[in-house]
Amino acid sequence: MKYDFDIAVIGGGAGGLFAASVANGLGAKVCLIEKKRLGGDCTWFGCMPSKALLKSAAVANLFKKYHEFGINLSGNFKLDTSGVMPHVQDVVQEIATHHPEEVFEKRGIKVVFGTPSFAVKDTIEVGEIKIKSRKFILCTGSHPVIPPIEGLKEINYLTNENVFDLKQLPESLIVLGGGPIGIELSQALNRLGVSVYIVEMMPRILFREDSDAAVVLENKLKSEGIHILTGKKAIKFTAGKGKIIVTLEDNDKKQEQLSAENVLVAVGRAPNLEGLNLERAAVAYSQAGIKVNSYLQTTNQDIFACGDIAGPYMFSHMASYQAQVCARNALFKSIAWQKVDYTNISWATFTDPELAHLGLTEEEARTKYKDIKIYKTGYASCDRAITDLEKDGLVKVITDKKGYILGAHIAGTNAGELIHEFILAKSLKVPLEKLSWPIFIYPTLSELVKKTAAKPLLEKAGRPFVKFLIKLLKSK
């Protein structure tokens, strides 16, 4: 049978762009189909605009703390944040220029814009165009979940898909959801002058994080004036005079009301599956996403899936990782196939302080292993943290009884950068103590890694036999 392409990639976000590039690099004839515009959520609604907003908020917050650094200002000093959202939109537009369709066309990747829908197992329709391909890689991303709460549809609520389009920031905001998206936006907007209330159903915010790390951030948010209401859920919204009123209910059915100028919904994300007609392609799916095996192959042996629609982790770096697995498995014979491996899964929440997560939390490790060891180092023990007035922070590493890393969690400035040293050690199966052997540059925050890694060695040095051996080896 004659095919138009070796691989058709559905979705032009982080996963799709990477899958198309890898397949093209391996010599395949590739078609990339995107519904709207290249770049995906990360570029337009997620990682990029949120990080630009967080940076502006961090600068504003630094201005407010000038006196802590021994600086005095004369005359009137007033922050005007009216230009922040236009700045964020400018940053997004600049980043969007990094992956124009012309670049992919020049590489030999055919780019088609439109709404894709399977006609049969090996053919997808985009409007009147029919594209036949040997293999398909699905990576259509996800969208915000909108819970079925009374009155929510009647108010002009915000999500991560429209909050960055605001021309003017609200005076007050109720944020539904204490996950990474809700927390990042809450801190950024609060630092820019918005009064923020976070409503979370779980007993604490960021429930997927190690509790010791999460509490560092929670305390910081509260100290900055953010109101955090945990163990409560929104059951009703009503519009008042220039305000939105939300009725909250706790586990004992006790109710209370909050009011704010607007509401941001950040309770989770759902896969983009609508309109694909996956039944025609014999691809099994559910509300959670497309069913895939350990090779990211769907129930149709010629169709693979990656990113948010495949799960289990909704991060751009995971989509890219899965994309290269999909491209390899779609092109090669099964003898050369690669399984996905989430053993060293990691992520970061880019608040201030940042949270970085690798592997198991302490609770997960205690459930899975009989003997574990915990090593903690406070940022206040690091000279560079002291010079930068960044003493509020924690490095926490969990190992098995042999000293191999099971999990690492950092709450503090530059946590998203520091965690990579532990990622390398865990991925390469290097015991924690060996990270203390190299010479680290002074003064840097990376010394926190060295200090933490030295603790297993200090433990060993305290053992009676080791003490005896040291005594024997000492020169007279």
Average pLDDT over residues 294-299: 97
* pTM for this prediction: 0.93
- Going by pLDDT thresholds of 50, 70 and 90, the confidence category of residue 42 is confident
Cβ atoms of residues 410 and 438 within 8 Å: no
Sign (positive/negative) of CA torsion 205, 207, 209, 213?
Answer: positive
Say how far apart CA 318 and CA 310 lie, in whole Å: 10
pLDDT tens column, 363-395: 999 999 989 999 999 999 999 999 999 999 999
- Residue 466 pLDDT greater than 70, yes or no: no
Residue 1 has pLDDT above 70, yes or no: no
Q: 200, 169, 170, 185: which is closest to 267 by C-alpha?
A: 200
Mean residue pLDDT across the chain: 93
Q: pLDDT tens digits for 224-281?
A: 999 999 999 999 999 878 899 999 999 999 999 999 999 999 999 999 999 999 999 9
Is 64's pLDDT higher than 90? no
Please tell me the predicted confidence (pLDDT) of residue 17: 93
The neighbour count for residue 463, using CB atoms within 10 Å, is 10
Closest CA to 402 of 359, 433, 368: 433
The reported pLDDT for the residue numbered 474 is 76
401-437: pLDDT as tens digits: 999 999 999 999 999 999 999 999 999 999 999 999 9
Mapping DSSP onto H, E and C, the string for 272-307 reads CCCCCCHHHHCCCEECCEECCCCCCECCCCCEEECH
Q: What pLDDT score does 416 carry? A: 97
Can you give the length of the chain in residues? 476
pLDDT in tens, 137-195: 999 999 999 999 999 999 989 999 999 999 889 999 999 999 999 999 999 999 999 99
SS3 state of residue 243: coil
